[in-house]
Amino acid sequence: MAGLLDKRLWVVSGKGGVGKSTVAAALALRSARAGRRTLVCEVNTQERISRFLEHPAAGPEVTLLEENLWAVDVRPQEAMREYGLMVLRFEALYKTVFENRLVRYFLRFIPSLQELVLLGKIMYHLQEKLPDGRWRFDTIVLDAPATGHAISFLSVPHVLVQTVPQGPMSREAQKMRDLLVDPAVTAAVLVALPEEMPVNEALELHAALKDKVHIRTHAAVLNQAIPERFTEADLEALAGHPELHRVAKANHDRASLTVLAGTKLERNLHAPVFNVPRLYLPTFGRDAIEQVMGHLEALVMGEK
């Protein structure tokens, strides 16, 4: 299997609480270590990735965290302003228009304008070049919203192209759509836990990305996987120790669920599944991200 390094836009999504930001942070760190200039984007959320990596929060400006690794929290107000300035070209004109109460009111109700400018900022960075003609960022890792929101967020260019009258918005949308659907550029990584709902959501997300957004699932990450430890014989031997039996049985059941979830993902996504074992660390910081990264080596670099 080819690694993610062949692609430039890595979209990470899955159900809420499955560890999307953890996986996005680990992927971004690995890409940076591979010598790629990497930008990791969070979308209008409580920023977590910079904190995981033990750096100060990046905020809405693209900020260098460490060698080859930049982060940004893409927020609507700032993104709208950048977009506005790009279209209107003059700060004074922007202020007259965008700080007008009536305009602010209208902008809120223009369908999907907010998503369009958020995604637009990410796509802008994807195409940004250095003076010497190289890409400013080789890799962009998008820590996308959770399933439902991710689908509506990423389908915005499609929806706009189909519904909005010809005009500046539809032209922008068209450009973004072309990049998003290009399999040479974009790859999705779906994150799940070994539980029923997160796995089902990953399958739904896969189908929606394929049919509505035309983004291919590159791989799935099964986070908090529990490796097999107790055999049936162990459980039988523990029958006389009810409390310990309960603990061992729970571990055993979670391990079986991990196997089931992995099989279900593999069969339905037709994509490789990478297990990240559950970590037992007192605090969740850089150490944890480094460990997760270790389990995603083949996902990023490809099979040797």
Partner 1 sequence: MSTTALGPALARKRVLICVGSGGVGKTTVAATLALRAAVDGRDSLVCTIDPAKRLANSLGLSALGNAETQVPASALEPLGVTARASLHAMMLDMKQTWDDLITRVAPPEQRERILANRFYQSLSTALAGSQEYIAMEKVWELRRKGEYELVVLDTPPTAHALDFLDAPNRVLDFLDNEAAKWLLAPALKAGKLGMSLFNRSGYVLRALSKFTGTEMLQELSSFMLSLSGMNEGFRERARGVRALLEDASTGFVLVTSPHPERMDEAIHFSTLLKQHRMEVVALVVNRVHPLPTEAMWADAATLTPTRRAKVEETLRELQVLAEQDGRGIAQLQAACPGIPLIQVPRFGLDVHDITSLWQTGRFLLGDDTF
Chain positions contacting partner 1, by CB under 8 A: 15-18, 44-46, 48, 84, 87-88, 93, 96-97, 100-103, 105-115, 145-146, 148-149, 152, 163-170, 195-198, 200, 229-230, 234, 237-238, 241, 243-244, 246-251, 253, 257, 278, 280-284
Q: What does each C-alpha distance from 83 to 71, 87, 165, 222, 294 come to in angstroms? A: 19, 6, 19, 37, 38
Nearer to partner 1, 7 or 295 (CB): 295
Nearer to partner 1, 149 or 210 (CB): 149
Q: Do residues 8 and 180 touch, judged by C-beta distance below 8 A? A: no
* Per-residue b or e along 173-205, where b marks 16 or more CB atoms closer than 10 Å to that residue's CB: beebbebbeeeebbbbbbbbbbeeebbebbbeb
Question: How far does CA 105 lie from the centroid of its chain?
Answer: 31
CA dihedral 72, 74, 80, 83 (to 10 degrees): 50
Nearer to partner 1, 85 or 298 (CB): 85
Nearer to partner 1, 62 or 97 (CB): 97
CB of 147 to partner 1, least distance (A): 8
CB of 109 to partner 1, least distance (A): 6
CB of 219 to partner 1, least distance (A): 21
CB of 83 to partner 1, least distance (A): 8
Q: How many CA atoms lie within 13 A of 154 on its CB side?
A: 31
Q: Do residues 258 and 194 touch, judged by C-beta distance below 8 A? A: yes
Nearer to partner 1, 66 or 106 (CB): 106
CB of 26 to partner 1, least distance (A): 15
